[in-house]
Amino acid sequence: MRRQASIENQALDWLVKRQSPEWASDDHDDLDAWLNESIAHKAAFWRAEYGWRQTDRLQSLGLKAGLVAARSQARFRWIPFAAAASLVAFLAIGAFAFGPDLANQPRTIVQQVQHQTAIGGREEFELPDGSRVELNTSTTVRAAVSEARREVWLDSGEAFFDVVHDPDRPFIVHAGGKTITVLGTKFSVRRDESHAIVSVLEGRVRIDELAGPSHKVTIVEDGGTAYSRNSSILLAAKSAKRVRNSLAWRKGELSFEQAPLSEVVSEFNRYNETKLLVSDDDAANILIGGSFKTSSTDSFVRLLRDAYGLNIQREGDTVRISTY
Amino acid sequence: MIDDDTLHSWFVRDILPLERGLTGYIRRNWRTAEDVLELRQDIYERALTGARRGIPSNSRAYLYTVARNHLINQATKSQIVSIEAVADLDTVDRSLDLFEAERVLDARDKLRLAQTGIDKLPPKCREIVILQKVKGFTDREAAEILGVSVETVRRQIKLGMKALIDHMLGGSGRIVRSDYRARKKRVKKP
């Protein structure tokens, strides 16, 4: 191998290695030592580093705001920093890269909170980092914000997250056997016994499937919805409208586009003590479109009676809907 | 003695943006195309070594002086380059500005240039570069997403990196898979 090719090759190896989250302060010392071996090494490495940095604008095509750019800043720093600082930087990157693996490690909890809503309830709260969380009906979440990461456990229900960018602190939502790591900004997670639905309004999120034999990773981009049941994930085709419909609850509404009555009814039932019950298939398959107030079961039922000619019977807390 | 930080920022700010012009200059004044990268690396080394004693006031003139001297030294040592080539070197300087107006790239230019660079990459390599550079995944994450080994990701990102760096600094930006054995044979030929 020619001299130049060999030096360039080594310089590129260093650059690749330094991008890796496993890069530690020891590696940094090794790189320094290599650079100090000769001016040739410096010339080649500085050139490669400079050239590679010229492509940084590409990041603007990926994530809308700062996460990647800021992460790479932390990682691409070559100017020697104090050992302590580099350790912190490494931990932050490491925590992001390994995600849940580091969950067991002790760290200072800055604040831990729990929030809960009753059936039909809605609540919004702010985390210490400024991120906002909106809880839908019948939802329980716990949140812990530390210096290294921001974590939310969605124990049940549905929540919408508007996450403040903080490259040093990944934002992670745990929903059963899944973790959703935020690479972008606004998204919602809904969870019940068997499945989880992740809808992304802005930016991108990563879903890690931890249950089951293999660790699966799914990326959901804005306008995307991921339906996961047990260990399989269905990624719906991009539809900003579907995502907006699924987030109508944030305005206290339910929004449907030609959804079967059975589905509409089960949505209503999430928000109300009064339970709607569809007693025959003909009624269950009627397609419904439009927006409704989550709380107005009565007017919805009246609509079914008046517009669709369905038969309505009340029995205590149950409203029975049928075609005859 | 200039410290490393100062030297580094000078090299990045004043010298590397001239690479396109410098490469063209070497290419025009040297008969053997395969030597160009080698010579450029030598010139960078010499420029850095010289600047260690003091940062030159006119970096551009300085770089081309270093380049010319180096080419003359190499030419007189070498059997390959004829003496006319050396004579030409003195006249080239004046026409430099006509040949190479180094462009200062703004952010939009850089993005456009980087995009064309990415488009030139082979599909697999492109995918990995996009995952890492554009989407910000680590090599391990990229490996998981694509179902390949981390080593594969690193090998591909390195190929892509090399091509993109050349592209950004004004070269062809094509992936050159050098067959080193073949090249050795060629070099040995008289």
Q: Answer with the residue of higher pLDDT: A124 or A212.
A: A124
Are A57 and B107 within 8 A, CB to CB? Answer: yes
Q: Which two tokens mark B54?
A: 């003091």
**Does residue A10 sit at the B interface (CB-CB below 8 Å)?**
no
Cβ of A68 within 8 Å of Cβ of B44? The answer is: no
Q: Nearest residue of B to residue A97 by CA position?
A: B138
Would you state the pLDDT for residue B104? 55
Residues A44-63, mean pLDDT to the nearest whole number: 81
Give yes or no for residue A18 having a pLDDT over 90. no
Which residue of chain B is at minimal alpha-carbon distance from A63?
B135
Q: Do B105 and A54 touch (CB under 8 A)?
A: yes
Helix axes B107-120, B150-168, angle to 10 degrees: 130
Which of the residue ranges A23-27, A105-109, A282-286 has the most confident prediction, judged by mean pLDDT? A282-286
User: Any chain B CB within 8 A of the CB of A5?
Assistant: yes
Q: How far is the alpha carbon of A187 from chain B, nearest alpha carbon, in Å?
A: 18
Is the Cβ pair B133, A55 closer than 8 Å? yes
Domain parsing of chain B, residue ranges: 4-99, 107-168
Q: What is the pLDDT of residues B169-190, one digit of tens each?
A: 876 555 555 444 444 444 444 4
More confident position, A215 or B103? A215
B161 touches chain A (CB under 8 A): yes
A215 contact residues in B (CB cutoff 8 A): 144
Rounded (5°) CA angle B111-A20-A34: 95
Looking at residue A304, what is its pLDDT? Answer: 85
- Best of B41, B48, B131, B156 to disrupt the A interface (most A CBs within 10 Å) is B41
Confidence (pLDDT) at B43: 96
**pLDDT tens digits, residue range B96-152?**
443 344 445 666 777 888 888 888 888 889 889 888 888 778 888 888 888 889 999
A65 — pLDDT class (breaks 50, 70, 90): very low
- Residue A214: which pLDDT band, with cuts at 50, 70 and 90? low
- Residue B52 — left, alpha, or beta (φ > 0 → left; ψ -120 to 50 → alpha)? alpha
| CB–CB contact A217 B113 (8 Å) | no
B121 touches chain A (CB under 8 A): no
**Predicted-assembly ipTM surpassing the 0.85 threshold:** no
Could you tell me which residue, A23 or A278, shows the higher pLDDT?
A: A278
Secondary structure class of A196 (helix, strand, coil): strand
Label residue B158 by pLDDT band (50, 70, 90). Answer: very high
Judging contacts by C-beta atoms under 8 Å, the chain A residues touching residue B7 are 42
Chain B, 17-46: which have a CB under 8 Å from a chain A CB? 19, 37-38, 40-42, 44-45
In this prediction, residue A20 carries a pLDDT of 79
Within an 8 Å CB–CB cutoff, is residue A73 touching chain B? no
Chain A touched by B141 (CB under 8 Å): yes
* Contact between chains at A217 and B145 (C-beta distance less than 8 A): yes
Q: Is A324 on the interface with B (CB under 8 A)?
A: no
Please state the rounded mean pLDDT for residues B19-45: 89
Average pLDDT over residues A27-43: 92
Q: How many of the other CB atoms lie within 10 Å of CB of B75?
A: 19
Q: Do A47 and B49 touch (CB under 8 A)?
A: no
Model confidence at A212, pLDDT cuts 50, 70, 90, reads: low
List the 132-171 stretch of A: residues with Cβ below 8 A of B: none
How many residue pairs from chains A and B have C-beta atoms closer than 8 A?
137
Contacts of A242 (CB under 8 A, 6+ apart): A199, A225, A236, A257
pLDDT at B163 over 70: yes
Task: Answer whether A6 touches B (CB < 8 Å).
Answer: no
Structure-model confidence comparison of residues B55 and B93, the more confident one: B55
**Residue B143's closest chain A neighbor by CA?**
A217
Q: What is the mean pLDDT of chain A?
A: 77
| A107-244: CATH number | 2.60.120.1440
Task: Give the tens place of pLDDT for each residue, A216-238.
Answer: 777 888 888 888 776 677 777 77
Q: Which residues of A12-51 are buried (b: 16+ CB within 10 A; e: fewer)?
A: bebbbbbbbbbbebebbeebeebbeeebbbbbbbbbbbbb
| Higher per-residue pLDDT: B175 or A42 | A42
- Nearest CB among A19, A42, A48 relative to B48 is that of A42
Q: How far is CA A275 from CA A113, A120, A284, A290, B168, in A?
A: 31, 12, 15, 20, 63
Within 8 A of B19 by CB-CB distance, chain A residues are 47
pLDDT, position B100? 42
Does residue A39 belong to the interface with chain B, where contact is any CB pair within 8 Å?
Answer: yes
- Residue B12 distance to chain A (closest CA, Å): 7
Q: Say if B166 is an interface residue toward chain A (CB within 8 Å).
A: yes
pLDDT classification of A135: cutoffs 50, 70, 90: very high
Q: Give the mean model confidence (pLDDT) for residues B20-27.
A: 88
Q: Does A214 touch chain B (CB under 8 A)?
A: no
Six-digit token string for A42: 């410096």
pLDDT tier at A106, thresholds 50, 70, 90: very low
CA distance B118 to chain A (A): 9
Q: Which of A63-72, A106-115, A275-284 has the lowest mean pLDDT?
A: A63-72
Amino acid at A272: N
Cβ <8 Å between B168 and A55: yes
CA distances from A240 to A130, A132, A225, A236, A237 (A): 26, 21, 9, 11, 10
pLDDT digits (tens, 9 = 90+) for B29-41: 887 888 899 999 9
The model's confidence at residue B46, banded by pLDDT at 50, 70 and 90, is: very high
- Which CATH entry fits the domain spanning A252-322: 2.40.10.10, 3.55.50.30, 3.40.50.150, 3.30.465.10? 3.55.50.30
pLDDT at residue A8 in the model = 94
Chain B contacts of A10, Cβ < 8 Å? none
Mean per-residue pLDDT for A285-301? 84
A313 pLDDT higher than 50:
yes
**Domain B107-168 part of CATH 1.10.357.10:** no
- pLDDT bucket at B155, cuts 50 / 70 / 90: very high
Residues 94-113, chain A, touching B (beta carbon < 8 A): 97
Q: Contact A209/A135 with Cβ under 8 angstroms?
A: no
Q: Percentage of chain A surpassing pLDDT 90?
A: 15
Whether the predicted pLDDT of B157 surpasses 80? yes
Q: Out of A47, A79, A219, whose CB is closest to B44?
A: A47
Domain positions in chain A: 3-99, 107-244, 252-322
* Average pLDDT of the residues in B46-50: 94
Residue A37: what pLDDT? Answer: 93
Say yes or no to pLDDT of A26 above 90: no
pTM: 0.46
Backbone angles phi, psi at A293, to 5 degrees: -70, 135
